[in-house]
Structure 1
Amino acid sequence: MAELESEVQSEGKCDSIADRQSLFLNSENCKKYTCEPLVVISILDHHKRRTEKQTRVIGTLLGSEDLDGNILISNCFPLIHREEEDTVSVDSEFQKQMTALHHRMNSEERIVGWYATGDRIDYNCFEIHRTYDEECSNPVMLCVDTKLSGAKLSVKAYHAATISIDPAKPLVTRFESVPFALDASQAEKIGVDVSISGRPDDKDVFDSPSSIIPDIDSLQIALADLLRDVEDLDAYVDQVVKGTIPSDPSIGREIVHALSSIPHIDARTFDKMFANNVQDLLMVVYLSSLTQTQVAIANKIGHVL
């Protein structure tokens, strides 16, 4: 949790007063936030296209609110800003134009907060957050750790909370974590998996188009992943049986459920079914390749004639 410098400077003062009076924490924002994966991909794309002088990028988050007051972050757009050590400036006119354009495309989306890349929250974040206080109530800050500090891509959500001795007299403001989760439909999960597993046509060219992995290669990757999971499961069960690690009944139930979902067929029948499916898949690959060749020949003949 990041805090303002003023909070650090007045720490002793707060402690002495707290001995006589209780502190009030303004935590009005108890909403839950969910984010679609394409928003994170757009943020990463924005970060990748930043200038050499930029250490991070910021942008506006768009979304909607359900009947329970929970927020779905469904869209975003980059924001032009200039940032120095203790100062930051935002192009508010550009934000107004982009917000108006997005509102014309989807009137249900509204500004719900902003995003920033990096692994730190500093004083400039509070200055940017104040500008979004004028756009919406309780804006959320989405922090995408592009530095992979925890050996993985971390996405966290924060909102600004005020601490005061008297509710009418705020003393200090700090960022606090709020409930956050990534939510994707089945179709979105498939699209994200295809995007991640795509192969760039030219690895040496920035933003080179990617080709979708052929079905036969996708099948091979899926079988390799399945084999790895089975080996990990086998190692886990062996450790539990030997008493190396404690048993977990919930994991045991999941293992039983997974095994019971496997159809009971003999190995010979399964091999025959698998071979037939592979042959069908190879036939589809062959026909698609043949079609591409025919189309290419037809196009060349058309140019000659």
Structure 2
Amino acid sequence: MPATSADTLFLATRTVTVAPLVLLSAADHYGRTAKGTKKRVVGVLLGENTGQTVRVSNSFAVPFEEDEKDPSVWFLDHNFIESMRDMFKKINAREKLIGWYHSGPKLRASDLEINELFKRYTPNPLLVIIDVQPKEVGVPTDAYFAVDEIKDDGTTTSRTFVHTPSVIEAEEAEEIGVEHLLRDIRDVAVGTLSTRITSQLQSLQGLHLRLRDIGQYLQKVLDHELPVNHAILGNLQDVFNLLPNLSTPPTTPRISGGAPEPQMENSELARAMSIKTNDQLMAIYLSSLIRAITAFHDLIENKIQNRQQQEENESKKEQEANAAKNDKEGTKKADGTANGEQKEEQGKEKPKKG
């Protein structure tokens, strides 16, 4: 049944979440079997498909061969797929076969035929192209669903792929494991600050590449090299609506033939934006100032308490020293009195002997 524009838009707005384990498995698969060659590797994707979101949590490699000269000649081991699917089903029943992947880096002519083959395992298979050797900064995955495209001129429908956004997201346990794995291969000589700056620079480079692709697509549409796709234009309009509109085109001259109005930018929007930004910065400044005053007050209180504690300790030590001195003097007096009494007794005993 041909897909309507609503179905195509629904597929294009789906969110495909790919776990890092799938990327590591695909990279390992490519490194073991096709590294240094122009061949691509093919594997099966496992996970959950809830309709609106698709979660790819696991994968396994599949024996695959194709003729480089004739794309229509290829081989995929069906028995291996079925045996591995049954084995993974025994391990985790929640992970189902939801699609397949290959190392691309772009779509191939035989992808539609391979996708039709995977329909025997799942009604609407997902295709994820994993770029194991990315040359540009960004997400190394591209997700697609196959649909029957209805042409505007009313001709026969054709089978094609619809791109859907994909993100890399890990669960908590998997994130800890991947972090430990990356920590082993990370350069310890590079500091944390340089790592953060490098990651931010790579993110900005990826954003620049995406904006460049958007500009190239719009230019091709203007040059009538590509047909107008209202779904893509709608998504771009949603992106542009998120940007602050600080200026408007200049006003047009008066129709009555009078002097043209002065060209003015929308200063009200710019002023409103500035006021809002200043209010936010003022709140941040006040909170920082209050935090600093509170910390300074705590510091003074701590110093006062420490000084009082020190004075109490010194007073206690002085009292203990005075008490010890008094005890020592009392002991000496007691010893002197005892010695005097003993001498008097000895003096009284001597006359009796005479």
TM-score computed with the length of structure 1 as normaliser: 0.56
Hey, what does 1:34 align to over in structure 2? 17
**2:162 is the counterpart of 1:181:** no
Aligned letter for 1:129?
A: N
Q: Is the 8 A contact 2:46 2:58 kept in 1?
A: yes
1:171, distance to aligned residue in structure 2 (A) = 1.9
Hey, what does 1:237 align to over in structure 2? none
1:184, distance to aligned residue in structure 2 (A) = 1.5
Hey, what does 2:29 align to over in structure 1? 46
Distance across 1 between alignment mates of 2:173 and 2:151: 50
Distance across 2 between alignment mates of 1:186 and 1:147: 27
Distance across 1 between alignment mates of 2:82 and 2:150: 33
Q: Is the 8 A contact 1:24 1:165 kept in 2?
A: no
Cα 1:141–1:108 change in 2 (3 A) is: same
1:69, distance to aligned residue in structure 2 (A) = 4.2
Cα 1:152–1:179 change in 2 (3 A) is: closer
Hey, what does 1:118 align to over in structure 2? 104
1:121 aligns to what SS in structure 2? coil
1:123 aligns to what SS in structure 2? coil
Aligned letter for 1:60?
A: V
Give the counterpart of 2:126 among 137, 140, 148.
Answer: 140
Q: Is the 8 A contact 2:26 2:132 kept in 1?
A: no
Q: Any gaps of 5 or more consecutive residues in structure 1?
A: 1-22, 200-211, 233-246, 270-305
Which structure 2 residues correspond to residues 203-222 of structure 1 after superposition, within 5 A? 221-222=191-192
Give the counterpart of 1:163 among 146, 149, 152.
Answer: 149
> Residues 243-279 of structure 1: CA distance to partner in whole angstroms, max 9, x if unpaired?
xxxx996xx87xx69x96xx8679xx9xxxxxxxxxx
1:151, distance to aligned residue in structure 2 (A) = 4.2
**2:35 is the counterpart of 1:65:** no
> Residues 111-151 of structure 1: CA distance to partner in whole angstroms, max 9, x if unpaired?
10000102221111111111111211211100011231324
1:54, distance to aligned residue in structure 2 (A) = 5.9
Hey, what does 2:214 align to over in structure 1? none
Cα 1:37–1:170 change in 2 (3 A) is: farther
Distance across 1 between alignment mates of 2:29 and 2:195: 31
Distance across 2 between alignment mates of 1:151 and 1:179: 16
Hey, what does 1:80 align to over in structure 2? 63
Aligned letter for 2:127?
A: M
Aligned letter for 1:55?
A: K
Q: Is the 8 A contact 1:143 1:156 kept in 2?
A: yes
Cα 1:172–1:224 change in 2 (3 A) is: closer
Structure that is richer in strand per residue: 1
Cα 1:163–1:223 change in 2 (3 A) is: closer
TM-score computed with the length of structure 2 as normaliser: 0.49
2:150 aligns to what SS in structure 1? strand
Cα 1:185–1:109 change in 2 (3 A) is: closer
1:49 aligns to what SS in structure 2? helix
Distance across 2 between alignment mates of 1:35 and 1:185: 11
Q: Is the 8 A contact 2:29 2:61 kept in 1?
A: yes
Hey, what does 1:7 align to over in structure 2? none
1:221, distance to aligned residue in structure 2 (A) = 3.0
Q: Is the 8 A contact 2:128 2:143 kept in 1?
A: yes
Distance across 2 between alignment mates of 1:187 and 1:223: 26
1:24, distance to aligned residue in structure 2 (A) = 4.7
1:133 aligns to what SS in structure 2? helix
2:61 aligns to what SS in structure 1? strand
Hey, what does 2:140 align to over in structure 1? 154
Distance across 1 between alignment mates of 2:195 and 2:80: 46
Question: Which deviates the most, 179-188 or 53-62?
Answer: 179-188
Distance across 1 between alignment mates of 2:42 and 2:120: 17
Q: Is the 8 A contact 2:66 2:74 kept in 1?
A: yes
1:71, distance to aligned residue in structure 2 (A) = 1.8
1:41 aligns to what SS in structure 2? helix
Distance across 1 between alignment mates of 2:129 and 2:17: 14
1:224, distance to aligned residue in structure 2 (A) = 4.7
Aligned letter for 1:149?
A: K
| Greater RCO (CA < 8 Å, at least 6 residues apart) | 1
Aligned letter for 2:78?
A: S
Q: Is the 8 A contact 1:116 1:143 kept in 2?
A: yes
2:117 aligns to what SS in structure 1? helix
1:197, distance to aligned residue in structure 2 (A) = 3.3
Q: Any gaps of 5 or more consecutive residues in structure 2?
A: 202-273, 300-354
Distance across 1 between alignment mates of 2:162 and 2:129: 12
Distance across 2 between alignment mates of 1:144 and 1:72: 15
Cα 1:225–1:178 change in 2 (3 A) is: closer
Hey, what does 2:79 align to over in structure 1? 93
Distance across 2 between alignment mates of 1:109 and 1:186: 18
Cα 1:170–1:147 change in 2 (3 A) is: farther
Hey, what does 1:13 align to over in structure 2? none
Residue identity over aligned pairs, in percent, reads 23
